Chain A
Amino acid sequence: DTGVSQNPRHKITKRGQNVTFRCDPISEHNRLYWYRQTLGQGPEFLTYFQNEAQLEKSRLLSDRFSAERPKGSFSTLEIQRTEQGDSAMYLCASSFSGAGTGGYTFGSGTRLTVV
């Protein structure tokens, strides 16, 4: 297992276009998280899944954002009608709920630039 994988690493899109990012978590991890990070700030929580169920969504996740994890394995994060303010690094992390207090494993992120 090579850890949490995110694709693409970089995405440049025009304002108003839709974009989709993919995250492949560590295979035995049942929890998957999405975070967003802008320059100079720490990551901000967006949403998380346990298996295929989306259990919590931040108010940062506007109606233009949607996340899915259809089979409890990989996840996608879609942003519709992108805006320049959506430019950020989008990070995915996974963990195993049975690990109790253990830490997350993060991917390297997808850097989105909206022009």
Chain B
Amino acid sequence: DAKTTQPTSMDCAEGRAANLPCNHSTISGNEYVYWYRQIHSQGPQYIIHGLKNNETNEMASLIITEDRKSSTLILPHATLRDTAVYYCIVRVGGDTGTASKLTFGTGTRLQVTL
């Protein structure tokens, strides 16, 4: 799986949009971008994933650049409960066994403040 690079930490004021960047310059054509987050003392939580089109769900939006070498996770109105470590992961999609696992980096620690 391709390697990802994320900032170690970021701050965001409550109510503002949080924009979390991720670089994945070696991504392959069949690799998806996944985002998970981990709130303290809990297991990681799936947020969103995409291949090349921008995606939006009830939690966040994912913007992938046209060359797919980077992406941004957007939390439109951050709250204190969004304080967590956010992981950007690149993984081959589909059902093949070796493609199934996720490889986590150290992520971005997002601190949402009042």
Contacts and interface: CB of A to CB of B under 8 A. Distances in A.
Interface of A: 4, 31, 33, 35, 40-45, 48, 50, 55-56, 91, 93, 95, 97-98, 100-109
Contact of B107 (A42, A50, A109): A42
Given A103-B49, A104-B44, A106-B45, 6 more contacts: A35-B104, A41-B106, A42-B104, A91-B44, A101-B32, A103-B36
Contacts of A55: 97, 100
Contacts of B106: 40-42
B100 A48 contact: yes
Contacts of A31: 100
Given A40-B106, A42-B87, A101 B43 contact: no
B95 A100 contact: yes
Q: Give the interface size bracket for B toward A.
A: 20 to 34
Contact of B93 (A4, A41, A101, A105): A101
Nearest to B106: A42
Given A100-B94, A101-B93, A108-B42, A56 B32 contact: no
Given A100-B95, A101-B94, A33 B45 contact: no
A88 B97 CA distance: 26
A67 to B, nearest CB: 14
Interface of B is mostly: loop
B28 interface: no
Contacts of B44: 43, 91, 93, 104, 106
A99 B17 CA distance: 30
A56 B98 contact: yes
Nearest to B36: A103
Interface string B81-114: 0000101000001110110111111110000000
Nearest to A96: B95
Nearest to B44: A106
A19 B28 CA distance: 40
Contacts of B107: 42
A56 B77 CA distance: 40
B29 to A, nearest CB: 14
Nearest to A45: B101
